[in-house]
């Protein structure tokens, strides 16, 4: 399943910078990230429905934020998570796989500007589908 120019995909944008101390600097970096994401979204028919910011909160809070975002996706407001790249919302590579897996296993899409749409393509014997 690739992002195409034909379908319109409603997304929740998650912003997260490496700044952990200065809230103004975190907001400035997240604003730059939002501009980067918006340019990509416009080219790929991605429609940001909501924007969520991590600010200076740590990655434990990021896990809670992602849980709330998945809950919002479950309501039907949007179909996908949209981020600059998987590591921007993760503490390391295994954490990135975990976050992608949580979103995809909930039946939603995980799209990044840098990597495109991410999925794990794992066979689920319960459903008989590759997810």
pLDDT at 5 over 60: no
Per DSSP, which regions of the chain are E strands?
Answer: 9-15, 46-53, 80-83, 109-112, 116-118, 123-124, 129-130
Sign of CA dihedral 94, 64, 14, 21: negative
pLDDT mean across residues, the chain:
92
Nearest Cα to Cα of residue 37 among 73, 88, 101: 88
- The predicted-structure confidence for 77-93, as pLDDT tens digits, reads as follows 999 999 999 999 999 99
Q: Which CATH number is associated with domain 9-130?
A: 3.40.50.1390
Whether the Cβ atoms of residue 83 and residue 89 lie closer than 8 Å to each other? yes
Please report the pLDDT score of residue 1 as a whole number: 44
Question: pTM above the 0.85 mark?
Answer: yes
Q: What is the mean pLDDT of residues 66-86?
A: 97
pLDDT at 2 over 60: no
């Amino acid at each position: 399943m690739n992002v195409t120019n034909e379908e319109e995909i409603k997304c929740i944008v998650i912003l997260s910078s490496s700044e952990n101390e200065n809230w103004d600097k975190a907001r400035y970096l997240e604003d730059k990230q939002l501009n980067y994401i918006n340019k990509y979204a416009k080219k790929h028919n991605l429609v940001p429905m909501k924007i969520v910011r991590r600010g200076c909160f740590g990655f434990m809070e990021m896990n809670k934020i992602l849980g709330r975002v998945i809950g919002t996706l479950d309501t039907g407001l949007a179909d996908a998570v949209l981020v600059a790249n998987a590591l921007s919302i993760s503490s390391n590579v295994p954490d990135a796989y975990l976050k992608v897996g949580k979103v995809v296993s909930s039946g939603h899409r995980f799209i990044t500007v840098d990597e495109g749409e991410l999925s794990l393509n794992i066979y689920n014997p319960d459903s008989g589908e590759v997810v």
